[in-house]
Amino acid sequence: MSLLCQSCGMPFSRSGLAHGHESDGSPSADYCALCYDGGVFLQPAMKRTSMQHLVMHSFEREGWPNAAAWAATRHIAFLKRWRGTKTPQT
Ligand SMILES: [Zn+2]
C-alpha cells in the first residue's frame, strides 16, 4: 500500500481520503477514491500539471500560503501515475 495517492499525492492519512477500488471491487493500493475507481482513472485525460494546480488550489482554500501549497505539490511529478509518461507539461 502506498502512503500517498500515486495520482494526486494526497496522504491516505488525510481525513476523508479513501482508497479507490479496482474493477473487482478490491481497494486500490495506489490511488484514492477521488482519482480512481472501478479500475479506471476518473479523469483519464488529466495532465500532470492540471493535477498539480488542482491540489495546490485545494491547499490554498484551506489557507495555505501560495509558496507552501506549491512546494507541497512538487512531488506529484514523481508519483507512479506520472513517472516516465510522456505527459505534456502544459
Ligand atoms: Zn488521488
- Structure confidence by residue, pLDDT tens digits, 8-41: 999 998 878 999 999 999 999 999 999 999 999 9
Helix (H) or strand (E) holding 29: strand 27-32
Cell of 78: 514523481
Ligand 1 center to residue 20 CA distance, Å?
A: 8
Distance from the CA of 49 to the center of ligand 1, in angstroms?
Answer: 14
| Ligand 1 center from residue 36 Cα (angstroms) | 7
Average pLDDT of the chain, as a whole number: 91
pTM: 0.85
Measured in angstroms, how far is the CA atom of residue 19 from the centroid of ligand 1? Answer: 8
Give the Cα separation of 70 and 85 in Å (integer). Answer: 22
Whole-number Å distance, alpha carbon 51 to ligand 1 midpoint, is 9
Residue 42 in 3-state DSSP?
A: coil
Coil, strand or helix at 77: helix
Residue 67 CA to ligand 1 centre (angstroms): 21
61 CA from centroid of ligand 1 (Å): 17
Q: Does residue 59 carry a pLDDT above 80?
A: yes
